[in-house]
Structures are given as structure tokens and as C-alpha cells.
Amino acid sequence: MTHGLVTGFLGCQLFVVLFIALHDWLPLGRLNNLAGIRAVDTTRRLVVVTVLSTLPFAIGLAASVYYARTGFPMWVMVWLWISYGTGAYGMLRAWWIPYLLIRDPVRAARYQQRFANTHAFLPARNGIRPDTLHVCFHVVLVVLIILLCILTFTDRGAAP
């Protein structure tokens, strides 16, 4: 395996796990709005959603770290594709389809409260304004999927 490619892949996975686990809990200045999040979701719901959302990516990261030097067995690659494929679908469904294509007033109202006063560089559209933190997360997720494609389809990540 190419050391730099795998290192970048692991770094992206670590970012995803840390983002999902922490972005609704740690104050990040104008990058998040903890008061807005708490106004929309109960602490119990946040705990459940955080644990369930983080777990598959954390398992994938742990397996990737374990097999990074020897190559990823097929079950790890399948796990990663299912996890990150589902993550990409969620990203599109939750953010980019309502932002670019299909108006979702209920989601827009929820996001306006959750992400009020957060930093954003994209204009509002269909009542949604993707905040900078989520846009950065989405960019990392896309880069991670590109790296996963390279590892999968060039045999650079395959176990011997």
C-alpha cells in the first residue's frame, strides 16, 4: 500500500469520527450553535444520535488502523463502503438536495434554529444556509470517498 495514501485516508476517517462525535457537544465559536442545537433536540436524543451515528465510523477507523500496514481485508472494505456510502447519502439528503433542488420547509426551519448565527460563506437557498463547519465536513467526506475508491479499485488497499 502507498503510505501517504493510507495516512491521508486514516486522517480523513479520524476527522469524520471526531466531527460526528463532538460537533454537537463542544463549543466551537461561530462554527456551531450549542444553544440552538439544545433548543431543537433533547440531551437524550443528542446522546442516542451521537452514539449511533459515530459507532459505524469508529469501528471502520479502528479496523482501518489495525489493517493499515498489512492491507484491508474484504470485510473492512465492505464495512467502509456501507458506512461512507450511507454517510454520503445522508449528506446529500440532509443538506445538498434541500439546498439545491427540493424545498423542505420543515428541515429549513429546524436548520435555521440549529445553525443560527453560525459562520457560513454560501448564500441561503430554499431556506437553508450550509454552515462552514458542515461544508468542511462534507469536503472531507468526499475526499475520503475518493481515497476509498483509489484503495478499492487499484488494489493499493487490498490485503495480499
Overall average pLDDT of the 23-51 stretch: 96
Split at pLDDT 50, 70, 90, the class of 154 is: confident
Q: Domain spans of the chain? A: 3-153
Q: Are 152 and 128 in contact (CB under 8 A)?
A: no
pLDDT, position 2: 76
Q: What pTM was estimated for this model as a whole?
A: 0.92
pLDDT, position 100: 96
pLDDT higher than threshold 70 for residue 156: no
C-alpha distances (whole Å) from 145 to each of 9, 19, 25, 60, 80 are: 9, 16, 26, 13, 9
Overall average pLDDT of the 47-63 stretch: 98
Overall average pLDDT of the 39-62 stretch: 96
Give the tens place of pLDDT for each residue, 76-120: 999 999 999 999 999 999 999 999 999 999 999 999 999 999 999
- The residues, ordered by sequence, that sit 6+ positions from 66 with a Cβ below 8 Å of its Cβ are none
pLDDT, position 159: 60
pLDDT higher than threshold 90 for residue 158: no
